[in-house]
Amino acid sequence: MRLRSFALTILLCASCAWAVPPSACRRAVITGELNAGKGLTQPLGGGLKLWFQPIASGWILRIIPATGPIGQHDYAELATPPYQSVTPLSISTDFSFRAQDAVGWNPRRFRFATTAQDFAQLERVYRDFIAGGTTPSEHAQSALAHEIGKTSEGTFTIVDSRLVPGTADQWRAAAAVASHFETTAHTLAEEPDHTTSPLGRLVWLRFRLEIDLPAGFPADQALHLEPRVCANP
């Protein structure tokens, strides 16, 4: 799949903010720790689970079916443009982010579908969107923005961290979002052989994840739920 225009997808994402959010009367709060090279899963209910997928450069936040095969896309990925570019779902040194830039992008906000039906519809309009190449039609952009606007919101916050800092100059896209490194609790570490690298390495994170659940969502019993004012009572 070809790389989409960064400017185009940023515009698409901005348009989602104009959409009316779904009624969400509860907020699930998930806390935990991530260790380099190790993943983490948490059942959400409604046939879904949260998965921090471990990759060599850190982790990818995914929301996937609780059982069965994992498809090409996940419930958070398609709801959180831009695609195949800088994304809040990649908690990593990908896209030329240094470890300190990844920690400095804090908090991170994303969206996700909450039902298989909503995800299937999101996939359909996404396919129409990418079929347009680098210049998708206004109709395809509008349809995708509309479906994204119906999804729920989540916020990932790094509470504490341990990292090996990178030595490279900060990349321009990282500078646009990584503004909270000094105010995020962190400990600097060294590689065992005392070597350095341009991007560094994420060693450990403690996090707090908040996700809004629509009314009627069958949340997993293990989730800690907090009430919130409904957007559309």
- The pLDDT tens digits of the residues spanning 58-90 come to 999 999 999 998 889 999 999 999 988 899 999
Report which of residues 82 and 101 the model is more confident about.
Answer: 101
Let me know if residue 18 belongs to a domain. Answer: no
Let me know if residue 48 belongs to a domain. Answer: yes
Range of the domain at 60: 6-13+23-223
Calpha distance 158→138 (Å, rounded): 37
What distance separates the 2 farthest-apart alpha carbons in the chain?
58
Please give the pLDDT value at position 226.
87
Confidence of residue 159 (pLDDT cuts 50, 70, 90): very high
Residue 18 reports pLDDT greater than 60: no
Let me know if residue 232 belongs to a domain. Answer: no
Let me know if residue 229 belongs to a domain. Answer: no
- State mean pLDDT over 91-117: 97
Calpha distance 129→216 (Å, rounded): 30
Residue 221 reports pLDDT greater than 70: yes
| β strands within the chain, DSSP E | 24-35, 40-45, 48-55, 58-65, 90-92, 108-112, 152-164, 187-188, 201-214, 224-227
Residue 46 reports pLDDT greater than 70: yes
Let me know if residue 104 belongs to a domain. Answer: yes
What's the number of domains the chain is made of?
1
Confidence of residue 6 (pLDDT cuts 50, 70, 90): very low
CA distances from 142 to 16, 19, 74, 138, 193 (A): 9, 11, 21, 6, 52
Let me know if residue 1 belongs to a domain. Answer: no
Let me know if residue 77 belongs to a domain. Answer: yes
- State mean pLDDT over 218-223: 95
